[in-house]
Amino acid sequence: MSRISRIFTRTLSTHGLLLTVAALHLPLVLLLVGRNLQGLALHPLGATYAATAIFGYYGMAVLLIALLVSLVLGGWRSGAAVVLGAILGTFLWYLLIDSEVYSVFKFHLDSFWLGFVWTDPGALGLPVSQWVSVAAAWLAMLLIEFFLWRGARAMPHRGRWVASAFALTLLATVTSQAVHVVAYEKGDERITSLTPRLPLYLPLRSHSQALRYGDRLPLVSTSTAASTRALVYPRAPLVFGKPGPTKNLLVLLLESWRADSFDARTTPHMWNFGQRASVYREHFSTGNSTVAGLFGLFYGIHPTYWEAVKASSASIDNPVLVDAMVDRGYRFGVFARSNFARHKIQDTVFRGIPVVEKQAGQNSAERDQDLTRQLIGFLESRAADGKPFFELGFYKASHFDDRYD
């Protein structure tokens, strides 16, 4: 056998080996992503859709990554093994960490959060022990890659495994996306309610294809569940009693502030003010994230409506609280350090109302001090014109490490 023939044969062998390694990842991917569905009483159609969506969407991605690495580095087996192992091990690690985050906070580590971790990890406020756990999980995934590689090398008939994996993931992808196209158009909650639970998942949507082929999927039907119907907000127009004196509203929000730090030593000024005011200690939060808390504060409904409100923000305009103040000629001063536009808070809560999110300062404490100056400036201007006002100050320093200077 000539040298060229040996190189060609070895390259083909490497291709098969790398793709076999990728195929062995498919059960792990199904297991890790499936953790986001734990506790759900799935309808048989929903369970079938979830399995095919996960197996097809994520499994095809794994196989295509392996194919790309194989095509680029197929002539260098050891290098290809290291690169593919690092990529797929990191992918499994991401799915594991994401499922843990979703189980607690009900959001996924998308590009926003991944960029946040990359650019400013200290802002997350995680203790060293959690960072160690995250690192240990990544090393564990790399160890799994090592055993998968050894297992793939020992497998006979690798070509059959690879062909079967590509055929099954392709079938699963076509099936799940076809079901989703019709289910999304018909509003079948058994299917559409699963989409937010899958990380980095971008299912197909096609109005024309759903109308053309929807009748061929009779199992997918229009849902009668309230959460899948067009959002009706408010359910009825607000009815006000006899007009009384107009009240000014000042709302100060502290990001991630713990209630047990409200005391004479930690927050003396607020504590002293509280001694002369009403302090409520038995309220319920609408969520454990910024968006969920703000949504419940202004809308007064559960944050599970958040996605529906975002989708209908143009027709809803603003929460009825804000609309009522607009109708009564209130002036608005909204000062925040939480990127309201990016989080869609401005579109859903303060549409058409300016939000000031630029504060001067070198650190979080200094920027919050400038925010206070902006608040005072707004109060002084309102005192001069005598118009009723609503003012919001959203402080961010309490979200970061404590400062004692």
User: What residue numbers bound the domain in which 143 lies?
Assistant: 3-227
pLDDT at residue 312, rounded to an integer: 63
pLDDT at residue 180, rounded to an integer: 84
Amino acid identity of residue 313, one-letter, is S
Residue 243 lies in a domain: no
pLDDT at residue 382, rounded to an integer: 87
pLDDT at residue 361, rounded to an integer: 86
Report angle CA 47, 50, 52 to the nearest 5 degrees: 110
Give the three-state DSSP class for 282.
coil
DSSP count for the chain of H helices, then E strands: 17, 4
Residue 242 lies in a domain: no
State whether 215 and 72 are in the same domain: yes
State whether 260 and 209 are in the same domain: no
Q: Give the chain's domain count.
A: 2
Q: Which residue has the tokens 């309230």?
A: 226
Whether residue 169 contacts residue 55, with contact meaning beta carbons closer than 8 Å, is answered with yes
Give how far Cα 217 sits from Cα of 180, 203, 208, 346, Å.
Answer: 11, 17, 15, 39
The widest CA-to-CA distance across the chain, in whole angstroms, is 98
Q: At what angle do helices 26-34 and 3-24 cross, to 10 degrees?
A: 30
State whether 48 and 97 are in the same domain: yes
234 cis-preceded (ω within 30 degrees of 0): yes
- Alpha-carbon distance 103 to 35, whole Å? 9
State whether 221 and 276 are in the same domain: no
Amino acid identity of residue 328, one-letter, is R
pLDDT at residue 225, rounded to an integer: 43
State whether 223 and 282 are in the same domain: no
How far, in whole angstroms, is CA 73 from its chain's centroid? 34
Give the three-state DSSP class for 394.
strand
State whether 156 and 302 are in the same domain: no
User: What is the token pair recorded at 386?
Assistant: 């005598």
- Alpha-carbon distance 226 to 301, whole Å? 14
Partnered with residue 392 across adjacent β-strands are: 251, 334
State whether 121 and 256 are in the same domain: no
pLDDT at residue 12, rounded to an integer: 60
State whether 215 and 354 are in the same domain: no
- Alpha-carbon distance 331 to 328, whole Å? 9
State whether 148 and 253 are in the same domain: no
Whether residue 73 contacts residue 79, with contact meaning beta carbons closer than 8 Å, is answered with yes
Would you state the torsion angle of the CA atoms of residues 322, 328, 329, 334, taken in this order, to the nearest 10 degrees? -20
Report the CATH number at residue 269.
Answer: 3.40.720.10
Amino acid identity of residue 193, one-letter, is S
State whether 160 and 256 are in the same domain: no
Give the three-state DSSP class for 251.
strand
State whether 255 and 315 are in the same domain: yes
State whether 112 and 34 are in the same domain: yes
- Alpha-carbon distance 202 to 231, whole Å? 22
With a cut of 70, list the residues of the chain below it in pLDDT. Answer: 1-12, 123, 185, 187, 189, 205, 207-231, 308, 310-315, 400-405
Residue 65 lies in a domain: yes
Residue 341 lies in a domain: yes
Residue 284 lies in a domain: yes
pLDDT at residue 346, rounded to an integer: 85
Full DSSP string of 305-339? GHHHHHHTHHHH-S-HHHHHHHHTT-EEEEEESS-
Q: At what angle do helices 3-24 and 59-73 cross, to 10 degrees?
A: 160
Residue 238 lies in a domain: no
Residue 244 lies in a domain: no
Residue 233 lies in a domain: no
pLDDT at residue 377, rounded to an integer: 94
How far, in whole angstroms, is CA 313 from its chain's centroid? 19
How far, in whole angstroms, is CA 240 from its chain's centroid? 38
Q: Which of residues 227, 262, 292 is at a domain's end?
A: 227
How far, in whole angstroms, is CA 106 from its chain's centroid? 7
* Neighbouring C-beta atoms of residue 4, cutoff 10 Å: 8
Contacts of 219 (CB under 8 A, 6+ apart): 45
Q: Which of residues 167, 195, 227 is at a domain's end?
A: 227
Amino acid identity of residue 180, one-letter, is H
